[in-house]
Each structure stands twice: as C-alpha cells, then as structure tokens.
C-alpha cells in the first residue's frame, strides 16, 4: 500500500467514525425544531388560568386536581409582556419538568414550593404560561429529555438535561390514552 493510499484510507475511516459527531447536531436541530413547533402550536394557559382551572374544573372534567392529577411533563414559559398573538417562541426564561402528579407539581412551582426562579418571576409581575403534556410514567424521563433538548437551555432555569427521575414500580395513575406533544392525540410520540 502506497503512502497516498494509506492517507486516503485514514481519511475514509476518519469520515466514517466522526460523521455522527458532525452530522448529529444537524439532524437533532431539525427534530428539535419539529418538537418546539408542535409545543408552540398547542394551547398554553396563563398561570392564573391554570390555577383557576386546577381548582374549579380539574383537567379531566372532575372537581379539582386531586381527582384528575396524572403523570406528564410540563413547560413553563416566562415573558416580559403578555402573549397576544399566540407566538410563544420569544420567551425570556422557562422551566421544563416532569412529575407523576403533574398538575400538583406545576401548582407548586407557581406558588413558591418548586423552582424559586419561576415563582419569583410570577411574583414580580412577569407573564407566565403553562403547557401540560400527559404521558405514561414509563415515558416521563424520555419526554423530559427531548423537551429540554428542544428548547434553548441557556434560557431555561433547568440545572440539568433532565431524565434522572426514578419511577420503577410506579403505576400509571389516571393516565388513559396515547399522548402527543400537543395533547390532541395525534399518536405521534417523541
């Protein structure tokens, strides 16, 4: 084998080995954009609407959240001004999380028993919006990681990439159905 052939062989091997490293971010960028767009296209509630609905109606038509709390992930987005045009892309900060009792967990964040930054923003008059994505307990870690990865982590209050919760042996409670990013049961899992 000549020196030129050896160099070509090394280049080819290097290209095969390093292609995922260079192409991965490009592929993920498209997938992340798709996830963000599906999240943005669904319904967000203001923090006040969330709290009112949690207490009056519950999220399954029952009476209050204790009857309808379920497993899922949540996206809390914070703005300096109210969102009047339905465009949730220009958030200032946010927080993404998961819980086997997602309604109660979001309530905790909004009332000072969760992420302190979210509570401080709400208390200081920032505009806080909430989106709940219900899913089975077995999917919580995976969905949380995908959601955090899809959003600009520099603007999130999250201190980790997510997915570290231990849910072994915890049954799905009050969860009934296929989930999707926009909660309209399009059967498209992420």
- What would the pLDDT profile of 42-55 be if each residue is shown by its tens digit? 889 999 999 888 77
How many C-beta neighbours within 10 Å does residue 28 have?
12
Q: What is the SS3 assignment for 170? A: coil
In terms of residue numbers, what domain contains 185? 1-190
Give tens-digit pLDDT for 71-127: 999 999 999 999 999 999 999 999 999 999 999 999 999 999 999 999 999 999 999
What is the number of domains present in the chain?
1
CA–CA gap between residue 106 and residue 97 (Å, rounded)? 9
- Residue 185 has a pLDDT of 38
Which DSSP string corresponds to 7-43? HHHHHHHHHHHHHHHHHHHHHHHHHHHHHHHHHHHS-
**Exposure string over 59-73, b if 16+ CB within 10 A, otherwise e:** beeeeebeebbbbbb
β-sheet with 45-46: strand ranges across: 45-46, 127-134, 72-79, 93-99
Q: Which of helix, strand or coil describes residue 135?
A: coil
CB 126 within 8 A of CB 80: yes
Q: Please answer whether residues 104 and 69 qualify as being in contact, where contact means their C-beta atoms are separated by less than 8 angstroms.
A: yes
């Amino acid at each position: 084998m000549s020196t030129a052939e050896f160099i070509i062989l090394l280049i080819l091997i290097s290209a095969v080995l390093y292609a995922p490293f260079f192409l991965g971010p490009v592929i993920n960028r498209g997938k992340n954009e798709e996830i963000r767009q599906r999240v943005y296209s669904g319904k967000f509630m203001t923090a006040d609407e969330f709290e009112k609905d949690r207490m009056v109606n519950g999220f399954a038509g029952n009476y209050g959240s204790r009857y309808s709390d379920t497993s899922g992930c949540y996206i809390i987005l914070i703005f300096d001004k109210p969102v009047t045009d339905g465009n949730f892309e220009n958030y200032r900060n946010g927080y993404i999380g998961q819980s086997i009792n997602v309604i109660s967990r979001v309530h905790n964040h909004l009332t000072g028993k969760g992420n302190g930054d979210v509570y401080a923003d709400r208390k200081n008059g920032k505009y806080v919006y909430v989106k709940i994505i219900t899913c089975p307990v077995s999917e919580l870690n995976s969905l949380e990681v995908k959601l955090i990865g899809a959003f600009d982590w520099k603007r999130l209050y999250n201190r980790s990439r997510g997915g570290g919760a231990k849910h072994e042996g915890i049954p799905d409670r009050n969860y009934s159905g296929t989930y999707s990013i926009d909660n309209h049961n399009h059967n498209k899992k992420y």
